[in-house]
Amino acid sequence: MDELRRQVQRARWWLGMQRFLRALGWCCFGTLLVAAALIGIDKYRSLGVEPWGWAAGAVGLGFVLAGLWAFFAGRGAVDAAIEIDRRFGLKERVSSTLTLSEAEQQTEAGQALVADAVRRAGQIDLAEQFAVAPGRQIFLPLAPALVAFLVALFVPAAGENPVEGKTDAEAARRQVEKSRESLQIKLAEKREKAKREGLEDAQKLFM
């Protein structure tokens, strides 16, 4: 009977992991979608959190939510026994055995049922029918994660207007041109002055 209970506990663990992984894709999809929105909002109104912080927090929250879902939606031992019967074609031997009362287990029929269930349970390999398969939904978080990355990388903040940046660069270029022209005028004046005063060496200096 102890071996039967151990098999049932293993089945419960496999089922719990299956629920967790299937919920994880949806939970992280939702939390990363919210994170992408918050990163976008931060571009226009600073929230004081770096983009990677939103993303990391979203993934962590997704794991927590998936764990809570797997825990609260978990099945009992009888449900796990029913799954063993269904997947291995045991015709309710395991589930019926677990529902027997102590008095029923002591009867001749009860003992025969327990012995048969224990024997059958000892012959099966749960990994054959209870392998964890997360499903395609595990890839769902990739979409909002990509959106969050693109928003963080390519959407400029409100104070980083590309048009204003271009205008500032143009103004700086004009200022340099103006300074260069002013310097050329001053040099030309000094050459003229040196020429009037007959200072040939000075003329060469200001060429």
Angle at 75 between CA 74 and CA 78, to 5 degrees: 165
The single-letter code of the amino acid at 166 is: K
pLDDT: is 77 or 187 the higher one?
Answer: 77
Indicate the range of 17-31, 50-64, 71-85, 186-200 predicted with least confidence: 186-200
Work out the angle between the directed axes of helices 142-154 and 51-72 (0-180°, nearest 10). 160
Q: Per residue in 130-158, pLDDT tens? A: 777 778 888 999 999 999 999 888 888 76
Over 50: is that where the pLDDT of 178 sits?
Answer: yes
> Sorting pLDDT into bands at 50, 70 and 90, what band is 35?
very high
3-state helix, strand, coil in the chain (%, to 5): 80, 0, 20
* Nearest alpha-carbon partner for 116 in 93, 137, 100: 93
Contacts of residue 128, defined as CB under 8 A and 6 or more positions apart, other chains included, come to none
SS3 159: coil
Question: Tell me, what's the pLDDT at 103?
Answer: 81
Measure the CA–CA gap between 204 and 147, rounded to whole angstroms.
64
Work out the angle between the directed axes of helices 2-42 and 142-154 (0-180°, nearest 10). 30
> Sorting pLDDT into bands at 50, 70 and 90, what band is 66?
very high
Question: Tell me, what's the pLDDT at 127?
Answer: 74
